[in-house]
Amino acid sequence: MAGARATMDFFAAQAAARRRTGALVGAFALAWLGTVALVWAALALLLQSGALGVAPRGLALAPGFLAAVAAGVTLVTAGGSAFQAVRLAREGPHAIAAMVGGVPVDRASLDPGERRLVNVVEEMAIASGLPVPAIYVLPGEGGINAFAAGFTPDRAVVAVTRGALEALDRDELQGVVAHEFSHLLNADAKLNLRLVALIGGITALALVGRTLARGHSHAERGLGVPRRLRGGGGRGRLAVVLAGLAIWTAGAIGAFFGRVIRAAVSRQREFLADAAAVQFTRNPDGLAGALAKIAERGSALVSAGAPEVSHFFFANGLASSWLATHPPIHDRIRRTAPGV
């Protein structure tokens, strides 16, 4: 890595990553509209076919029906999103660190690796203009990885695996920590919170549909289904089940595409953080060297809590994931140090 040159145009790289992120976040609006359209189309088809009982002619095509479907989908998804947002915000960054076995680092620690980590974190706080966050080490993790979490810069944590402390030299550790400070500076944790909440809202719609679809046994006992539907015997129960299946399917499809979009957003934010790390350190070799060691030694975590917070990490924290939240390591190296 010694022969690499700081040829990255980090300002241009950051601007490009932000543009792509904006476009992807906008795609969530399309995912919501698509979910509304799917629910409307499924219910309209059932109405027109008579499966949901007798309905006024043309009801499925009336603007009021579409508005009612949109309002219902919005109510369910907004409620689900609000619940997810409150839950994630309440957990806080320290709880996220504890979830993966993080142990707080004393800034007066005499351990050489921890002492170096404290110094690097303080340097990157100055370089980025942010407060010094709480520092954690993941002692049971041999993979090379790190993460930052915090919805505001003054309530944040930076955590590094023991494997990173042992395998990385000072420049490489500095590049990794600078990358994490970029996530704090650019409010990526807050963005991720919003995206997770949005997906949670669409998932809530699928849960409502599943509840309705499975509710026919409750209908027989007079639970969960209006009396007017129970009076129709099997026809009323079938109508509820079919409507539930339609909503369940639409919600599941919407949530799937929401996760695909969230993974794409996460990948762009990783490119953005790499570019900002080079800006903070003015040393692309350090970051590229850390990425090269990850390509050689791995970054997977063994903690049972890793899947819950995999999107926070510097590199892929899972052994495998087809909805990857991180770009391929070699693409990151190529963009960070094009001369290598």
Active site residues: 180
Look up residue 118 and give its two tokens.
Answer: 């404290």
Residue 325 carries which DSSP code?
Answer: S
CA dihedral 172, 339, 279, 196 (to 10 degrees): -80
Neighbours of 54 (CB within 10 A): 7
**Contact indicator for 322, 158 with CB cutoff of 8 Å:** no
Strand partners, 155: 152
The span from the CA of 191 to the CA of 21, in Å, is 10
Mode of pairing for the β-strands spanning 155-161 and 103-104: unpaired
Residue 313 carries which DSSP code?
Answer: B
Q: 50: helix, coil or strand?
A: coil
Look up residue 176 and give its two tokens.
Answer: 């990794």
Neighbours of 143 (CB within 10 A): 23
Residue keyed to tokens 């090269």: 292
Look up residue 2 and give its two tokens.
Answer: 């010694």
DSSP string, 133-187: PEEEEETT--S--EEEEEEETTEEEEEEEHHHHHH--HHHHHHHHHHHHHHHHTT
Q: 337: helix, coil or strand?
A: coil
Nearest to 32 by CA among 93, 75, 92, 85: 75
Nearest to 236 by CA among 252, 248, 249, 224: 224
φ and ψ at residue 127, rounded to 5 degrees: -65, -35
